[in-house]
């Protein structure tokens, strides 16, 4: 099953490389001890953090219990995402996990907080490419359960393009994951909007200095600074939950230094539903779902992020979503087949 996932992820990344918009562009650097950098025109664009679990101290374990991707601003001058430490130290850049997992005939674990002996481990890089205005990376990640044992294999892909939206340069980032059981035992993924799914976490500077300037763009309009909406996990029948469920996109606008940046999170209709959204003024947002993974039915998800300096409109976000859905409709789901 993993071989099939690898081959289709490679195809997915090849398609991304076709028709890129930039002439010079992306270049992967040589890996360092715990990370590898992707540059664009000599400036940082992405960093894949691939730490090896270190359990010598509690702090070391916290720093090394999950892989994730950092993202810089399109001009390479500002690191937009957060690493270990700070407010909610388990939040990391672009990250994916669930706080309520049942596996192995009744065992339970949490790959969001990575409590106890649970963690996610980078196993190897399966491929990477860089050509002009596009680049991609495919990695193998294992999910470890309550006793540290491997219960799931993930193939994770991140692909990035340099594009323009109107006159503004930005990053178009596709995140895709193929998750399968490691021992043929069913896996149940669950959680709540604040502690499960695929999320973006902004730099610690946001909660430290600018949280009350954060606002959200939604399909029904622009929110007020500091105002957030969340799917109410404790009251699932609340009529207000309809505003925070099964959205095709959501935008977050944050301030770092003296600059404002907008990140648009695009969900695909083929991902498990219902998708339930979370917003925080300190710069974390995303969605989660409930799903089962079995020997015959691995879990495939795909999301897209658009990242740019400055503000955006609802209409621009709608167009990004329409394009994402149209493109994905003509491509096979990564890991299928």
Quick one: CA torsion of 126, 335, 198, 175, rounded to 10 degrees?
60
List pLDDT tens digits, range 115-163. Answer: 999 999 999 999 999 999 999 999 999 999 999 999 999 999 999 999 9
Q: Give 103's pLDDT tier (boundaries 50, 70, 90).
A: very high
List pLDDT tens digits, range 211-255. Answer: 999 999 999 999 999 999 999 888 989 999 999 999 999 999 999
First to last CA, the chain: 9
Q: What is the mean pLDDT of residues 71-94?
A: 96
Q: What is the mean pLDDT of residues 284-297?
A: 97
List pLDDT tens digits, range 158-185. Answer: 999 999 999 999 999 999 999 999 999 9
- The pLDDT of residue 16 is 47
Residue 85: DSSP 8-state: S
Q: Give 335's pLDDT tier (boundaries 50, 70, 90).
A: very low
- The pLDDT of residue 17 is 45
- The pLDDT of residue 167 is 94
Q: Which domains does the chain have, with CATH numbers?
A: 2-329 (2.70.98)
Q: CA 246, CA 244: separation in Å to the nearest integer?
A: 7
Q: CA 261, CA 254: separation in Å to the nearest integer?
A: 5
Full DSSP string of 295-315: TTB-EEEEEEEEEEES---HH
Residue 30 Cα distances to 36, 39, 73, 214, angstroms: 7, 11, 21, 36
SS (H, E, C) 248-276: CEEEEEEEECCEEEEEEEEECCCCCCCCE
Q: CA 25, CA 300: separation in Å to the nearest integer?
A: 29
On average, the pLDDT of the chain sits at: 92
Q: What percent of the chain has pLDDT over 90?
A: 87
| Residue 101 parent element (H or E) | strand 100-103
CB atoms within 10 A of CB 222: 15
Q: CA 122, CA 246: separation in Å to the nearest integer?
A: 31
- The pLDDT of residue 24 is 85
Structure tokens at 62: 């916290």
pLDDT beyond 50 at 333: no
Structure tokens at 81: 């995402």
> Nearest-CA neighbor of 295 among 145, 184, 159, 208?
184
Please give the residue that has the higher pLDDT: either 334 or 180: 180
Residue 41: DSSP 8-state: T
Q: Which of 9-23, 256-270, 280-294 has the lowest mean pLDDT?
A: 9-23
- The pLDDT of residue 328 is 72
List pLDDT tens digits, range 3-54. Answer: 445 444 444 544 444 433 444 899 999 999 999 999 999 999 999 999 999 9
Model pTM? Answer: 0.91
Residue 238 near residue 299, CB atoms below 8 Å: no
- The pLDDT of residue 336 is 43
Residue 62 Cα distances to 66, 145, 233, 239, 296, angstroms: 9, 16, 27, 38, 34
């Amino acid at each position: 099953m993993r071989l099939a996932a690898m081959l289709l992820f490679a195809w997915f990344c090849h398609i991304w490389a076709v028709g890129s918009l930039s002439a010079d562009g992306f270049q992967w650097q040589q890996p360092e001890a715990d990370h590898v950098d992707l540059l664009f025109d000599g400036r940082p664009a992405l960093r894949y953090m691939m730490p090896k679990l270190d359990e010598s101290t509690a702090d070391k374990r916290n720093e090394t219990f999950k892989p994730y991707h950092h993202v810089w601003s399109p001009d390479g001058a500002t690191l937009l995402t957060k690493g270990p430490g700070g407010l909610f130290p388990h939040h990391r850049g672009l990250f994916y996990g669930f706080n309520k997992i049942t596996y192995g005939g009744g065992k339970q674990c949490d790959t969001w907080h990575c409590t106890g002996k649970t963690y996610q481990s980078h196993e190897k890089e399966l491929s990477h490419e860089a050509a002009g205005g596009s680049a991609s990376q495919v990695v193998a990640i294992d999910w470890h359960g309550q006793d540290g044992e491997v219960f799931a294999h993930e193939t994770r892909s991140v692909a990035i393009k340099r594009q323009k939206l109107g006159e503004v340069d930005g990053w178009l980032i596709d995140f895709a994951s193929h998750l399968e059981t490691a021992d043929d035992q069913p896996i149940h993924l669950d959680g709540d909007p604040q502690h499960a799914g695929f999320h973006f976490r902004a730099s610690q500077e946001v909660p430290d200095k600018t949280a009350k300037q954060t606002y959200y763009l939604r399909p029904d309009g622009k929110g007020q600074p500091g105002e957030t909406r969340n799917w109410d996990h404790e009251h699932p029948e609340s009529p207000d939950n309809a505003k925070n469920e099964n959205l095709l996109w959501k935008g977050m606008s944050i301030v770092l230094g003296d600059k404002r940046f907008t990140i648009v999170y695009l969900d695909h209709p083929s991902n498990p539903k219902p998708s339930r959204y979370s917003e925080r003024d300190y710069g974390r947002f995303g969605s989660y779902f409930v799903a089962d993974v079995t020997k015959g039915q691995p879990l495939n998800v795909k999301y897209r992020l658009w990242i740019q300096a400055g503000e955006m409109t609802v209409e621009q976000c709608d167009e990004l979503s329409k394009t994402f859905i149209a493109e994905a409709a003509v491509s096979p789901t990564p890991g299928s087949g």
